[in-house]
Amino acid sequence: MTFASFLDSLGPFFAVAGMALASFLPGMGSAKGVGIGGQAASAVVTEDPSQFGKVLILQLLPGTQGIYGLLIAFMAMINIGIMGGVATISAVKGLAYLAACLPIALAGYFSAIHQAKTSVAAINLVAKRPDQFGKAILFPIMVETYAILALLISLLAVMNIGNMPI
């Protein structure tokens, strides 16, 4: 096997690397995010158990990035053909899948953590003023926007790479 043909055979590897990044980076971010949200939420429930429902929602907000990452990973998996067992794609295409996974991988990881910090602040807000839940939930949602935009680009890219003549 020549070096050039070895390089070209790496297509599936690059694609799977992209899938891995898309699932574990946002997953890590969400795990950390939901974790710190949960600590703040527990503290509130200690004082006022009736706020459980509200703080639970706030805690879960940074959990969506992990789901988005999973979604991209699965979409990539289906598009590459791993589910069917035939994954013969060129190195360029593999790299394209890797690149397509990066938006949700990175934006997902960082937005989950920043969203969690905002969630913690919102949980504190709800603890002090339970009637302001509607506004409190808005602040973490603002952060989520950027995860969704990244998800959108990753999604559209992953879905369209298959049709590219490369």
Partner 1 sequence: MAILPMERIHLVAMKRDRKSILEMLQRRGAVEVSDIQNEDEVFTKADTATTCGLFEKNAETARSAMEILLKHTDIKKPSLAFLHGREAISVETNDAFYEKRDDVLRDAQRIVQLQRNIAEAKAEQLRLEAGLEALVPWMDLPVPQTFGGTRKTAVFIGTLEGEHNLEGVLAQLAEAAPDLAPLHVEIVSGTKQQTSLLVMSLKKDATRAEDALRAIGFARPPAASHLAPAVQKQRLEEQMAEATKTVADAEEEIRSYAGQWDDFRFLEDHMTMRAEKYGVIEKLAQSAHTFVLQGYIPAGDAPALQQELTDTFLCSVDLEDAGPTGDEVPVKLKNNWFSEPTESVLEAYSMPGKGEIDPTSVMSIFYYVMFGLMFSDAGYGLIMAGVCGFCYLKFRKNLEPNWSKNIRMFFWCGISTIFWGVIFSSYFGDVVDVVSQTFFGHTVSIPPVWFYPMEKPMLLLVFSLGIGTIHLTAGYIMKAVTCARQKDYSGILYDAVFPIAMWYPLILILLGSDMFVTIAGFKLTLPSIVTPICLAVSGVAIIGIVFTGGRESKNWGKRLLKGIYAVYNGISGWLSDTLSYSRLLALGLATGVIASVMNQLGALVGSGFFGVVVFIIVFAVGQALNFGINVLGAYVHSNRLEYVEFFGKFYDGGGRKFSPFGIHTKHYKIIEEETKS
As a whole number of angstroms, the distance between CA 93 and CA 80 comes to: 9
Q: Confirm or reject binding of residue 42 to partner 1 (CB under 8 A).
A: no
Looking at beta carbons only, is 79 or 91 nearer to partner 1?
A: 79
Q: Which of 15, 70, 98, 143 binds partner 1 (CB under 8 A)?
A: 70
Among positions 28, 45, 60, 82, the unique one binding partner 1 when judged by CB under 8 A:
60
Residue 69 to residue 99: CA distance in whole angstroms: 14
- Chain residues 87-146 in contact with partner 1, contact rule CB under 8 A: 133-135, 137-138, 141-142, 144-145
Find the part of the chain contacting partner 1 (CB under 8 A) among 9-17, 55-63, 86-94, 118-126. 55-63
User: What are the residues binding partner 1 (CB under 8 A)?
Assistant: 57, 60-61, 63-64, 67-68, 70-71, 74-75, 83, 133-135, 137-138, 141-142, 144-145, 148-149, 151-152, 155-156, 159
